Amino acid sequence: MKTLLSVDQLVTVFGHGDDTLRVVDGISFHVAAGETYALLGESGCGKSMTALSLMRLLPDGGRIAAGAVQLEGQDVLALPERDMRRVRGGGMAMIFQEPMLALNPVIKVGTQIAEALALHQQFAGQAAWGAARELLDSVGVPDAARRLESYPFELSGGLRQRVMIAMALAGKPRLLIADEPTTALDVTIQAQVLDVLRRLRAEQQMGMLLITHDLGVVAENADRVGVMYAGELVEEGARDAFFAAPKHPYSRMLFEALPRPGDGGRLTTIPGQVPGMDQTLHGCRFAPRCPYAIARCRSESPVWQELNGQRVRCHLAADLPARSERGLTAHAKSSQTNAPLLQVEGLKVHFPVRRGFFQRTVGHVRAVDDVSLSIQAGRTLALVGESGCGKTTVGKALLRLIEPTAGTVRLGGETIDARNAATLRRQAQMVFQDPFSSLNPRMRVGDILLEGMDALGVGVARDRRSAMTQLLRQVGLPDDAGARYPHAFSGGQRQRIAIARALAVSPRLVICDEPTSALDVSVQAQILNLLKDLQDSLGLAYLFITHNLAVVDYLAHDVAVMYLGRIVEQGSAAAVLRAPRHPYTQALVSAVPRIESTIGHDMIRLAGDQPSPLNPPQGCHFHPRCSHASEACRQTYPDPTRLENGHWVRCHWVAGQP
């Protein structure tokens, strides 16, 4: 295949003099026409900066210090800015992670696309509008003619990303750079968008540079893979070879850190964190975290070597022990059954919608509509669903951070209402999603941990300091952490602090709201291990709110799947994830990109987006997207259909099956 893009020894730096940060440090790779090259790495490894360097769109302060970039033989870095503008959008186009922010909020979608068409294809007026409509059609935007007149905020996340793709295609680029194109999207929407990208690449014979942190996305989309670590490329190879046998210790550990279905044991974690760009590094950059590292690794930077067609930068690549194949071990999760710790019946949270002259309440957003669940002590219930389904609201309503509209909550046999809120707070606590907004930047870690004990009067005041030290040890933080401020800690460490804070009042139930979704895979493994250890040692019950099915599979005993404010399927984790019955759960499970070979894995693709909870569809909320929908589905909301072992589903289609 003809080489489309070749990058040679690219170095990108920020700042000057002593403060220079080398964010991209001598990267070389090439992409052929019609090929997808995936650049894989954790946050801060320099993969996005590589992409922006190719486009010469580095943020202020950044510059390309060395190297060469050739697109179809043309030296991109040597072009004057005038000609570079023709390359941007025309030669190579880029789509970004967050489509809401990446589209201009006050310009119509059609105009934004037409702008690119006018620039690169000299279309104007009506012709441009028509061409824009065709582009939207080609990326699968329904009702394209009308959508041209929309503003970005009127579109859903998936549609926005399709618009973004259409805009990138307007200049008929030979190379498409996709920077985490689906990270901000729900898993069913991610599947749709990735399908579009795959189809377009095949149709137009484009080269594609796919930048992602998600091994699953790589497995399903890439032809070749390059792994980045701390500004350097450490391994490169064809997809199948790479997934069969990753050669670099870092790549291998990434695989092992990934929670996998049915895996009851501990996850392999990579100790420490990705080094900061400001650290001077000698030798192999991964050496400080590498369990195999020898003295030579710390002094001498490894050169590329080729092993069975894969290229790798590791002194020891040839001598590493064979990878221990993690088989599907039996479920090691403890599964004793006790009386339920938490019992929720008919929980509803409705937000009034006011309109008109007198601000009358004209309707309700049914964020949570009749949710019932129960958790036993020492067990984990995962509440799964896509964004906007109301799962976080359930968590907050349980803690009365949002006042529920209806429903009863029984905790440890006691019915919770506004009067005995203190009981609730002693017994149930929460860990939040974003470790950066969940810790007050103006408070020392010690004060953060003491806050709950002080407020609820836990223990004797003079013992609290030692209790704090105990807590810090429990979550694996150094003793002196208490005197420092949160900004001194990394994301993973902050999440440990947040967990310690919740544990400070010795609760029996911890509500974890997406506690690992803001973290890198290797750090996520550390947190998941910690949560599991704490459950084993303290007998905690978890309500684990997440959209990440792999994590659910790893951690949860039971699963409840939510769609538009209601639970549509509930049962043991094995039953729901392995043999889902509700069409929505089936689609959800099938949409998750898998690392394992995808042959024989028939994909179920959902059409359209999740409707607004303000105006949910009549009957079964899911019927407009369901391929099994019948007349009954359009009329009435289905009652639960009980299957074996407490597994139940709300679906007419399932109920109709023998």
Partner 1 sequence: MLAYILRRLLYAIPILIGVNLLTFALFFVVNTPDDMARLQLGAKHVTPDAIARWKVEHGYDKPLLLNARASGSAQLTDTIFFKHSAAMFVFEFGKGDDGRNIGNEIRTRMGPSLAIALPVFVIGLLVNITFALLMVFFRSTYLDLWGVVLCVVLMSISGLFYIIAGQYFISKLWNLLPISGVAGGIDGLRFIVLPVLIGVVAGIGSGARWYRTIFLEEIGKDYVRTARAKGLSEVRVLFRHVLKNGMIPILTGAVVVLPLLFMGSLITESFFGIPGLGSYTIDAIQAQDFAVVRAMVFLGSFLYIVGLILTDISYSWVDPRVRLQ
Partner 2 sequence: MSVMPVVLWTDALIFALLACVLVLVWLIRRQEHLRAPWRVVAQRPMAMGAALVLSAFVAIGLLDSLHFRERLPDSPADAPQYSIDVLSVFDILVGDLRTQQEKTYSAPLAMQLYAKEFVQREGKTVREYPRLKFGGAHLQQEAERVPDITRRSLIGFAQGLALSLLVFGLLAAWQARCSKVSFGDWLAAWGEGRLDWPGRTVVFFVTLLLVLGSVLLHLAPAYHVFGTDKVGQDVLYISLKSIRTGLVIGTLTTLVTLPLAIGLGIAAGYFRGWIDDVIQYVYTVLNSIPGVLLIAAAVLIVQVYIESNPELFDTAARRADIRLLALCLIMGVTSWTGLARLLRGESLKLRTLDYVEAARAFGVSHARIISRHIFPNVFHLVLIAIVLDFSGLVLAEAVLSYVGVGVDPSMHSWGNMINGSRLELAREPVVWWQLGAAFAFMFTLVLAANLFADGVRDAFDPRQGIRR
**Residues making contact with partner 1 (CB under 8 A):** 55, 57, 60, 85-90, 93-94, 96, 98, 101-107, 115-116, 119-120, 151, 153, 164, 167-168, 170-171, 354-357, 359
Q: Taking CB under 8 A as the rule, does residue 439 contact partner 2?
A: yes
Q: Taking CB under 8 A as the rule, does residue 456 contact partner 2?
A: yes
Least CB distance from residue 654 to partner 2, whole Å? 37
Q: Kindly tell me which residue out of 8, 137, 451, 533 binds partner 2, with binding defined by CB under 8 A.
A: 451
Identify what 321 binds: partner 1, partner 2, none; CB under 5 to 8 Å per kind. none
Least CB distance from residue 35 to partner 1, whole Å? 21
Contacting partner 2 within 16-75 (CB under 8 A): none
Q: How many residues bind partner 2 (CB under 8 A)?
A: 29
Least CB distance from residue 437 to partner 2, whole Å? 5
Q: Which stretch binds partner 2 (CB under 8 A): 101-109, 329-337, 369-377, 439-447?
A: 439-447
Least CB distance from residue 20 to partner 1, whole Å? 17
Q: What is the DSSP string of 424-487?
A: HHHHEEEE-S-TTTSS-TTS-HHHHHHHHHHHHT-S-GGGHHHHHHHHHHHTT--GGGGGS-GG
Residue 26 token pair: 């001598």
Q: Kindly tell me which residue out of 57, 101, 353, 422 binds partner 2, with binding defined by CB under 8 A.
A: 422
- In whole angstroms, give the CA distance from residue 480 to residue 474: 14
Identify what 452 binds: partner 1, partner 2, none; CB under 5 to 8 Å per kind. partner 2
Least CB distance from residue 568 to partner 2, whole Å? 27
Three-class SS of 338-356: CCEEEEEEEEEEEEEEEEC
Q: Taking CB under 8 A as the rule, does residue 516 contact partner 2?
A: no
Q: Kindly tell me which residue out of 498, 527, 528, 577 binds partner 2, with binding defined by CB under 8 A.
A: 498
Identify what 355 binds: partner 2, partner 1, none; CB under 5 to 8 Å per kind. partner 1
Least CB distance from residue 510 to partner 2, whole Å? 11
Identify what 413 binds: partner 2, partner 1, none; CB under 5 to 8 Å per kind. none
Q: Kindly tell me which residue out of 440, 466, 618, 627 binds partner 2, with binding defined by CB under 8 A.
A: 440
Q: Taking CB under 8 A as the rule, does residue 442 contact partner 2?
A: yes
Contacting partner 2 within 119-148 (CB under 8 A): none
182, 183, 189, 195 alpha-carbon torsion, rounded to 10°? 30
89, 93, 99, 105 alpha-carbon torsion, rounded to 10°? -10
Least CB distance from residue 14 to partner 1, whole Å? 14
Identify what 433 binds: partner 1, partner 2, none; CB under 5 to 8 Å per kind. partner 2
Distance of CA 256 to the CA centre of its chain: 18
For residue 6, the 8-state DSSP code is E
Q: Taking CB under 8 A as the rule, does residue 433 contact partner 2?
A: yes
Least CB distance from residue 61 to partner 1, whole Å? 9
- In whole angstroms, give the CA distance from residue 41 to residue 248: 13
List Cβ neighbours of 400 (8 Å cut-off, separation of 6 or more): 416, 418, 421, 424
Least CB distance from residue 515 to partner 1, whole Å? 27
Least CB distance from residue 103 to partner 2, whole Å? 21
Identify what 399 binds: partner 1, partner 2, none; CB under 5 to 8 Å per kind. partner 2
Pick 89 or 275: Cβ nearer partner 1: 89
Identify what 442 binds: partner 1, partner 2, none; CB under 5 to 8 Å per kind. partner 2
370 phi/psi in degrees, rounded to 5: 65, 65
Least CB distance from residue 543 to partner 2, whole Å? 13
Distance of CA 378 to the CA centre of its chain: 27
Residue 141 token pair: 């935007």
Q: What is the DSSP string of 256-295?
A: HHS--TT--SPPP---S-PPPTTS---S-TTGGG-TT--H
Q: Kindly tell me which residue out of 432, 584, 622, 653 binds partner 2, with binding defined by CB under 8 A.
A: 432
Pick 119 or 245: Cβ nearer partner 1: 119
Q: Taking CB under 8 A as the rule, does residue 420 contact partner 2?
A: no
Pick 202 or 455: Cβ nearer partner 2: 455
For the four alpha carbons of 184, 190, 192 and 196, in that order, the dihedral sign comes to positive
Nearest to 181 by CA among 157, 202, 206: 157
Pick 51 or 504: Cβ nearer partner 1: 51
Identify what 167 binds: partner 1, partner 2, none; CB under 5 to 8 Å per kind. partner 1
Identify what 89 binds: partner 2, partner 1, none; CB under 5 to 8 Å per kind. partner 1
Pick 331 or 464: Cβ nearer partner 2: 464
Q: Kindly tell me which residue out of 178, 206, 367, 430 binds partner 2, with binding defined by CB under 8 A.
A: 430
Identify what 443 binds: partner 2, partner 1, none; CB under 5 to 8 Å per kind. partner 2
Q: Taking CB under 8 A as the rule, does residue 546 contact partner 2?
A: no
Contacting partner 2 within 477-496 (CB under 8 A): 485, 487
Q: Which stretch binds partner 2 (CB under 8 A): 256-264, 267-275, 419-427, 553-561?
A: 419-427
The H-or-E segment that residue 255 falls in is helix 249-257
Least CB distance from residue 423 to partner 2, whole Å? 10
293 phi/psi in degrees, rounded to 5: -55, 140
Residue owning tokens 């805009």: 167
Residue owning tokens 């930068």: 313
- In whole angstroms, give the CA distance from residue 331 to residue 633: 36
- In whole angstroms, give the CA distance from residue 254 to residue 258: 7
325 phi/psi in degrees, rounded to 5: -75, 120
Least CB distance from residue 139 to partner 1, whole Å? 16
For the four alpha carbons of 478, 480, 483 and 489, in that order, the dihedral sign comes to negative
Residue 644 token pair: 């074996």
Pick 282 or 360: Cβ nearer partner 1: 360
Strand order in the sheet with 310-312: 92-95, 175-179, 207-212, 36-40, 224-229, 232-238, 310-312, 305-307
- In whole angstroms, give the CA distance from residue 171 to residue 321: 49
- What ranges in 69-207 are assigned the alpha helix state H? 81-90, 99-102, 109-121, 125-138, 144-147, 157-169, 187-204
Residue 638 token pair: 């289905």
Identify what 125 binds: partner 1, partner 2, none; CB under 5 to 8 Å per kind. none
Task: For residue 310, count CB atoms less than 10 angstroms from its CB and return exposed for 0-12, middle for 13-18, buried for 19 or more.
Answer: buried
Nearest to 229 by CA among 246, 208, 207, 243: 246
Least CB distance from residue 213 to partner 1, whole Å? 19
Nearest to 498 by CA among 516, 522, 483: 516
Q: What is the CA radius of gyration of the chain?
A: 26
Fill in the per-residue mask, 374 to 413: x = in contact with partner 2 (CB under 8 A), - = not in contact: ----------------------x--x-x------------
Binding site for partner 2 (CB under 8 A): 396, 399, 401, 421-422, 425, 429-430, 432-434, 437-443, 447, 451-452, 455-456, 485, 487, 498, 501-502, 505
